[in-house]
Amino acid sequence: MKVGILTYHRSVNYGAYLQAYCLQILLSERTGYDVEIIDYDSKSAAEYYKGQFFHRGVRGMIYNIRRHLMFTDFRRNLPLSKDSLVTDDIDAFNEFIENRYDLIVVGSDEVWNVSGFRPFPNAYWLPKIKGVRKVTYAISGRNRICDLTDDTKDKIKIYIDEFEFITVRDGISKKLIDGFLPEGKESSVVCDPTMAYDFSFDREVGRRLIREKFHVDPGKKVIAIMDSTGDIIRNLNEDIDVQFISLYSYYPGLKNNPNIKPEEWVQIIAASDGLITAFYHGMCIALSSNIPFLFCEERDIESNEFSKGYDLLHRYEMEDHYIRCSNPGLRTTENDFINKIKSGFCKEDFDGIRKAEKAKFDIFVEYLKA
């Protein structure tokens, strides 16, 4: 069987790259099917990421361009389709995809987010495509039905009716999708592909990378930071006993490096003494490698149920690892976390969580092999 994965693999983002890579490897190994990632991107998304070059002054712009070039180069390591396409034209996409696959897997990631910078409808809903089986894996949308126009709701209902099996990543996406499914039918919550994949963590390799890439003092604690808005950074107290390294955006005063490859990023998180992150996949790597972490929700959300980080942590009664950046207690929470890292008593064991999440991948594999 020829299987194509349609996801956000071109996003300039470690999580986007890794979720695509992990899903392709896992499906190929577990099913024996011929699986590849469809090398497609929307024109709107491509332009959006180019616009990110111009953030945080001249040094930040240079940093962002170098990071973008690194991702563009490293993306060649993905098992991509022979041909590629960048467009917002759904008809052009349908012509591009026609007769290439027996089955298309849409996901994972926020591919059904109606309010994003990609137009709706778009290719990730597979509108008008016939003659191919359609399923989703760990998609996310996190929109409320009541916020959608009647025209949008009518289209969504038509599109998802053509999917034979729908799995989602979080509770708010399940609530959204189940609201469009016929009575007696519902979506299934599965794990993010990065939680199902068996990474080979090597602390010695990670510590070497931290020294070489960030020039840290090997005698001091290292806390990795993943922040895109500056909220986490603004609430950090200066501490001469701790070194902060930035694993995403450029921030003056922190140790930065735009040339961290995805495979290095994984090892660096796993070898850090702790992680403070606003990025979901950073949290996933911390959970998989038993690294202490604090997840900071930086988006302006109506309630915690709209946070994919909170959704996962709430499932396992780990809300103490979560805080919203809008919370006036953010600085205190960050400082408490840093002090625990400094004390050396902040040890974690997330093996049970990862085992439970990983088992959810079996639901999808069993369906595809049936």
DSSP 306-324: G-HHHHHHHHTT-GGGEEE
pLDDT at 246: 96
Question: Radius of gyration over alpha carbons of the chain, in Å?
Answer: 20
Q: Phi and psi at residue 134, in whole multiples of 5°?
A: -125, 130
pLDDT digit string, tens, across residues 284-326: 999 999 999 999 999 998 899 999 999 999 999 999 999 999 9
Structure tokens at 85: 């396409």
**Beta strands at 255-256 and 242-246: parallel, antiparallel or unpaired:** parallel
Dig out the tokens for 61 from the structure.
């712009």
* Residue type for position 109: D
> Which parts of the chain have pLDDT scores under 70?
53-56, 345
Which token pair is 134? 């359609």
CATH topology of domain 2-190: Rossmann fold (3.40.50)
Residue bearing tokens 């639901």: 363
How many CB atoms within 10 Å of residue 120? 18
Select from 3.40.50.720, 3.90.320.10, 3.40.50.800, 3.40.50.2000 the CATH code of 199-349: 3.40.50.2000
| 149, 59 contact by CB (below 8 A) | no
Angle (CA) 34-39-41 rounded to 5° is: 145
Where residue 360 falls (left for φ over 0; alpha for ψ -120 to 50; beta otherwise) is alpha
- Model confidence pLDDT, tens digit, residues 158-204: 999 999 999 999 999 999 999 999 888 999 999 999 999 999 999 99
Q: What are the helix (H) ranges across 145-248?
A: 150-160, 171-178, 193-196, 203-214, 231-234
Q: What pLDDT score was predicted for residue 142?
A: 80
CA 62 to chain centre: 24
Distances (CA, A) of 161 to 79, 106, 311: 29, 14, 26
What is the residue whose two structure tokens read 């495979």? 263
Q: For residue 55, what pLDDT is reported?
A: 64
Mean pLDDT score of the chain, rounded to an integer? 93
| 8 Å CB contact between 308 and 140 | yes
Comparing C-alpha atoms, which of 237, 243, 279, 240 is closest to residue 262?
A: 279
Residue with token string 């890439």: 213
For residue 48, the SS3 value is helix
Cβ–Cβ contacts within 10 Å for residue 138, how many?
A: 30
Tokens of 69: 């070039």
